[in-house]
Amino acid sequence: GESVGLHLPTLSVQEGDNSIINCAYSNSASDYFIWYKQESGKGPQFIIDIRSNMDKRQGQRVTVLLNKTVKHLSLQIAATQPGDSAVYFCAEKPPARQLTFGSGTQLTVLP
């Protein structure tokens, strides 16, 4: 999962395997969540979002799961590829407030 500090959590997976990246969010009132991907030296790139009235949403090779009971968000990447290596972070948005971002997880895809 994500945490605040000097060192990012890391996840290493073999190419072709599935990846699961976790995020614990803080505000039970948050009703909108986003996953971003950030490659080295680039700005964050939107992957997928989910609203609090859903518990699962699928995109191309990615699935986001939302568990409001334990305030947990996960991103599943199917058949992980070398181009998926990046920092992934979640963001939550409470009503009438701005997005709050997690610190991220470094995903490394091994050949």
Residues lying near another protein in the complex (CB under 8 A): 2, 4-8, 31-32, 34, 36, 41-46, 49, 51, 89, 91, 93, 98-99, 101-104
The CB-of-65 to another protein minimum distance in angstroms stands at: 18
Q: Closest CB to another protein among 51 and 56?
A: 51
Q: 85 in helix, strand or coil?
A: coil
Q: Closest CB to another protein among 3 and 18?
A: 3
Please choose, from the candidates 19, 49, 45, the residue with its C-alpha nearest in 3D space to the C-alpha of residue 31.
Answer: 49
The CB-of-42 to another protein minimum distance in angstroms stands at: 6
The CB-of-14 to another protein minimum distance in angstroms stands at: 26
The CB-of-21 to another protein minimum distance in angstroms stands at: 14
Which is it for strands 10-14 and 62-67: parallel, antiparallel or unpaired? unpaired
Please choose, from the candidates 22, 10, 108, the residue with its C-alpha nearest in 3D space to the C-alpha of residue 73.
Answer: 22
Distances (CA, A) of 78 to 35, 46, 61: 15, 17, 5
CB burial of 64-81 (b: ≥16 within 10 Å; e: otherwise) equals bbbeeeeeebbbbbeebe
Q: Closest CB to another protein among 46 and 82?
A: 46
Q: Closest CB to another protein among 46 and 55?
A: 46
